[in-house]
Amino acid sequence: MSGNKAIVYVKPGEVEVSDISYPDLILRDGPGVNPLNVGRKCNHGVIVKVISTNICGSDQHMVRGRTTAPSGLVLGHEITGEVIEVGSDVEFIKNGDIVSVPFNIACGRCPSCRKQDTHICENVNPDRPGSAYGYVDMGGWVGGQSEYVMVPYADFQLLKFPDRDQAMEKILDLTMLSDIFPTGYHGAVSAGVKTGSTVYVAGAGPVGLAAAHSAQLLGASVVIVGDLIEERLAQARSFGCETINLREHDDVGEQIEQILGTPEVDCAIDAVGFEASGHGEDGGEAPATVLNSIMGITRAGGRLGIPGLYVTGDPGASDADAKEGTLKIRFGLGFAKAHTFVTGQTPVMKYNRDLMKAILSGRAQIAKAVNATVISLDQAPDSYRAFDGGASRKFVIDPHGMISKTQHLEAAQQITK
């Protein structure tokens, strides 16, 4: 084989479908590849034929020009696929296995990985702990919004689905295991959600919706979701959440009081990150808005889960401090209320196997919660624009038509019954 098509970042506001090299088990030079990673041999890796790969809000930060991502960077860190080639050092993963690829790249050997802190692996990114596919300053591992991708450390990282037919039947749910379902769940766990909790989720994008669904799975009594876009709030209401329109009403506590009878919740989740907007009709970009608001409405002693992305370099920020990730946060308020803050990438492997079982049993309905929408690789540029415009959809790219074929087969079977 020699062909491979992928979604490539071109410049702010523009991505395109490009022909790229077919992967092999070496990390070769290319846009965004750390020079110290060039030539890295990956006999412990596999080549995956991509069944599904999703557009993520984190990708949008790069596409908007809000990072230092170079032109030509292959995007995509949410990958599910079929193993079609295994390296000589791979023992347990076999050709034909259908697998979920955690977006964190992790070696399984370093002290962090041995503690299940796979989000801060110490051996895969020469710049700092932590890495991901197709992302700026993450070591340069090639992204998976493509037809084929190389995955290193396969025996350690890959989550193999137990049954191929069952996996394809549930693929729209299972595709969320590479990132947003564990990320939303991590946000809820970090916030201390338990039976009876009242929970506020800032942001009704896919991660916020995944966090809200996760809070329900963990036993929350009330989940309140706040956003500026009514279409996204309608999606949150579709699976039983209360909602707050922050464009129409800027006082979060007042709206929470109307729902709960008190202006506070037990715990809160920031699923927005550094491109946050101020509340109200005229709210412009205000990157500390969410962090300050959730401190204000979370009870004393509560926990704040922060899966929303914050960066150390934001060339599109409105002021010099924000350009380097320095925000005007009311940390004194958090200190006075004895809040616990949990930040950073999600250690996907800590959660994905349990969440897989919740999906396969029918307990979790994550594809429905985030409005999974299947598109072709060629439709990805238009879908990036739609997502950037606030569309309440989780776009799932189907590079080989395998999902569409399965869906058509299932539809035909239903007709003939």
Predicted confidence band of residue 281 (pLDDT cuts 50, 70, 90): confident
- Comparing 5-178+347-416 with 183-342, is the CATH topology the same? no
Residue 405 pLDDT level (bands cut at 50, 70, 90):
confident
Rounded distance, CA 3 to CA 168, Å? Answer: 24
Residue 318 scores a pLDDT above 90: no
Question: Cα(58)–Cα(64) distance, rounded to whole angstroms?
Answer: 10
* pLDDT given for residue 416 in this prediction: 45
Q: Per DSSP, what are the bridge partners of residue 202?
A: 226, 270
- Out of 57-71, 109-123, 163-177, 232-246, pick the least confident: 57-71
Residue 342, pLDDT > 50, answer yes
pLDDT tens figures, 186-227: 999 999 999 999 999 999 999 999 999 999 999 999 999 999
pLDDT tens per residue, range 296-307 = 999 999 999 999
The 10 Å CB-count burial string (b at 16+, else e) for 1-38 is eeebbbbbbeeeeebebeebeebebebeeeebbbeebe
List phi, psi (to 5°) of 237: -70, -25
Q: What pLDDT band is residue 280 in, cutting at 50, 70 and 90?
A: confident
Output the pLDDT for position 317: 85
- Of 8, 17, 128, 22, the closest CA to residue 59 belongs to 8
Sketch the domain layout of the chain as residue ranges: 5-178+347-416, 183-342
Bridge partners, residue 85, by sequence: 47
319 Cβ contact partners less than 8 Å away, ≥ 6 residues apart: none
Q: How far apart are CA 397 and CA 248, in angstroms?
A: 34
pLDDT of residue 291: 96
- Please report, rounded to a whole number, the percentage of residues in the chain having pLDDT higher than 90: 88
Q: Which pLDDT tens digit goes with each residue over 114-147?
A: 999 999 999 999 999 999 999 999 999 999 999 9
pLDDT in tens, 170-193: 999 999 999 999 999 999 999 999
C-alpha to C-alpha distance for 99 and 77, rounded to whole angstroms = 14
Computed from CA positions of residues 184, 186, 189, 190, in that sequence, does the dihedral angle turn out positive or negative? negative
Q: How confident is the model at residue 410 (pLDDT cuts 50, 70, 90)?
A: low
Q: What is the predicted pLDDT for the residue at 211? A: 98
Specify the CATH number for 183-342; select among 3.40.50.720, 1.25.40.10, 3.40.630.30, 3.40.1190.20.
Answer: 3.40.50.720
- pLDDT at site 321: 86
| Interstrand relation of 198-202 and 79-86 (parallel, antiparallel or unpaired) | unpaired
Q: Token match 């009709």: residue? A: 281
- How far apart, in whole angstroms, are the C-alpha atoms of residue 110 and residue 104? 14
pLDDT reported for residue 286:
86
Class of domain 5-178+347-416 as given by CATH: alpha beta
Strand 242-245 to 222-227 pairing:
parallel
Q: Note the pLDDT tens digit of each residue in 375-393.
A: 999 999 999 999 999 999 9
Question: Do 342 and 190 touch, CB atoms closer than 8 A?
Answer: yes
Predicted local confidence at residue 413, as pLDDT = 52
Pairing of strands 79-86, 46-54: antiparallel
State how far the Cα of 280 lies from the Cα of 264, in Å rounded to an integer.
20
Q: Look at residue 5 and tell me whether its pLDDT is greater than 50.
A: yes
- Average pLDDT (24-41) is 96
- pLDDT attached to residue 2: 66
- Mean pLDDT of the residues in the chain: 94
**Amino acid (one-letter) located at 235:** Q
User: First vs last Cα of the chain: how many Å apart?
Assistant: 40
